[in-house]
Amino acid sequence: MEKIKMTTPIVELDGDEMTRLIWAWIKDILINPFVDLKSEYYDLGLVEREKTKDAVTVEAANAIKRYGVGVKCATITPNAQRVKEYNLTQMWKSPNGTVRAVLDGTVFRAPIMVKGITPYIPTWTSPITIARHAYGDIYKDVEGYVKQGGKAKLVLEDCDGTREVEVFDFAKTAGIVMGMHNTDKSISSFARSCFNYALDTRQPLWFAAKDTISKTYDHRFKDIFNEIFEKEYKEKFEKAGIEYFYTLIDDAVARVIRSNGGMIWACKNYDGDVMSDMVATAFGSLAMMTSVLVSPDGNYEFEAAHGTVTRHYYKYLKGEQTSTNPVATIFAWSGALKKRGQLDNLKDLEAFGEKLEKATIDTIEEGYMTGDLAAIYKGDKKVVKLNTEDFLKEIAKRLA
């Protein structure tokens, strides 16, 4: 069989622990036999990040800017324990944070649905995609504790002069205060990423905040979304037959629960943090969640939503067999190959991505799966619990 050809490389960001092993197996078993893979390889494993003083992470992010499509393996974000374990000279920052800072974008997360793994909400028959704004608000705030008798004030300085507003007078009791920000530029990028992604995937877009209470801050989000929609996207949405609307966050939560899914739900940073865990869990498993970072100038980075699955890796090192679920990592690869195919007009490559996803889903629906899924499977097939490599081989049989 002749292998599928590529013209532009995919930027490949390798990672750590169990997912690093899974990364190599997926390439060996599912991709290299079928595709003449062109990739520009960056090793983001912690050993290499230490060796390059984390320069490799920035180089990889810049390569994604150059080529437009990247695929990333899960990586360790070091904490004090990792500094010891890997003998690090510094507690290197989260690679995802670094890549996000270079690409500036929005993270879209969607569950992979298969028959037999049923959502906790029975009406959710289509996936719900969460679009999380990944900049500002409480993630970049300043906070303080104010003793009784103190006062907190907000001082604003710009070309209109200086204004001072009292936040609270702590005359009768001590308390706490917080200052946070966002920028028109970042909110506009967020809005455009969401509108583009909705058009790309032909799904309606919901955006929710709390503008009735936060009359300047949250209202600014609402206004920017509306202005950009009216000016740049309204007609495109009408043509695509999809809608955009804004609603209050509490109303959105109620509507999402009653819905059948099938929409993109754009969330401010904190709402997205909380709601994406809720949605992932309600759909079954974090190991069945895709994640893609879309930048406002049209660059894509595909990854799995879970981490490096450390607990399984330590078992593997002891020589025990592990049944770690590779589905989200497979979908990161298929997503990147499909996008590369679309951008380079390579129909075969795009079709390969589709077939890889179908073969993966078929394998599970026929009863072959990893341990995490076997534990929650409610379908009518006899379950065959496999280790990771045997599961990948089952997928390869169907793909061939």
Burial 344-380 (b: 16+ CB within 10 A, else e): eebeebbebbeebbebbbebbebbbbbbbbbeebebe
Among 198, 309, 392, 396, binds ligand NAP (CB under 6 A): 309
Q: Which of 105-113, 159-167, 219-227, 305-313 is the region at the interface with ligand NAP (rule: CB under 6 A)?
A: 305-313
Among 49, 192, 268, 306, binds ligand NAP (CB under 6 A): 306
Residues 6+ apart with CB under 8 A from 72: 13, 15, 44, 95, 96, 99, 301, 302, 303, 332
Q: Residue 80 half-sphere exposure, CB side, CA atoms within 13 Å?
A: 0
Q: Are 334 and 353 contacting, i.e. CB atoms less than 8 angstroms apart?
A: yes
Running DSSP on this structure, what letter comes out for residue 9?
P
Select 182 or 370, whichever has its Cβ closest to ligand NAP. Answer: 370
Q: Are 11 and 64 contacting, i.e. CB atoms less than 8 angstroms apart?
A: yes
Any contact of residue 373 with ligand NAP (CB under 6 A)? no
Distance between CA atoms of 127 and 79, rounded to whole angstroms? Answer: 34
Among 201, 196, 149, 200, CA closest to 175: 149
The alpha-carbon radius of gyration of the chain (Å, integer) is 23
Q: Which among Mg ion, ligand NAP, none contacts residue 52 (Cβ within 5 to 8 A by kind)?
A: none
Characterise 18 by phi-psi region: left (phi > 0), alpha (psi -120 to 50), beta (else): alpha
Distance between CA atoms of 182 and 258, rounded to whole angstroms? Answer: 31
Q: Considering the complex, what minimum distance in angstroms separates the CB of residue 151 from ligand NAP? A: 40
Q: Which residue is nearest to ligand NAP (CB)?
A: 307
- Using CB under 5 A, which residues numbered 221 to 240 contact Mg ion? none
Q: Which 3 state secondary structure label does DSSP give 264?
A: strand
Among 76, 103, 131, 191, binds ligand NAP (CB under 6 A): 76
- Using CB under 6 A, which residues numbered 16 to 75 contact ligand NAP? 74-75
Distance between CA atoms of 197 and 192, rounded to whole angstroms? Answer: 8
Select 30 or 74, whichever has its Cβ closest to Mg ion. Answer: 74
Q: Considering the complex, what minimum distance in angstroms separates the CB of residue 294 from ligand NAP? A: 16
Residues 6+ apart with CB under 8 A from 310: 17, 18
Among 324, 334, 360, 363, binds ligand NAP (CB under 6 A): 324
Q: Which two tokens stand for residue 251?
A: 């109303």
Any contact of residue 270 with Mg ion (CB under 5 A)? no
Select 76 or 131, whichever has its Cβ closest to ligand NAP. Answer: 76
Q: Which two tokens stand for residue 181?
A: 């920000």
Any contact of residue 286 with ligand NAP (CB under 6 A)? yes
Q: Which of 26-34, 204-212, 271-279, 339-347 is the region at the interface with Mg ion (rule: CB under 5 A)?
A: 271-279
Q: Which among ligand NAP, Mg ion, none contacts residue 273 (Cβ within 5 to 8 A by kind)?
A: Mg ion
Q: Which of 266-274, 311-319, 333-341, 346-354 is the region at the interface with Mg ion (rule: CB under 5 A)?
A: 266-274
Q: Which residue is nearest to Mg ion (CB)?
A: 273
Q: Considering the complex, what minimum distance in angstroms separates the CB of residue 319 from ligand NAP? A: 18
Among 59, 223, 273, 389, binds Mg ion (CB under 5 A): 273
Q: Which two tokens stand for residue 253?
A: 């939560």
Distance between CA atoms of 76 and 74, rounded to whole angstroms? Answer: 7
Select 135 or 207, whichever has its Cβ closest to ligand NAP. Answer: 135
Report the interface residues with ligand NAP, using CB under 6 A: 74-77, 96, 286-287, 303, 306-311, 324-325, 372
Report the interface residues with Mg ion, using CB under 5 A: 273
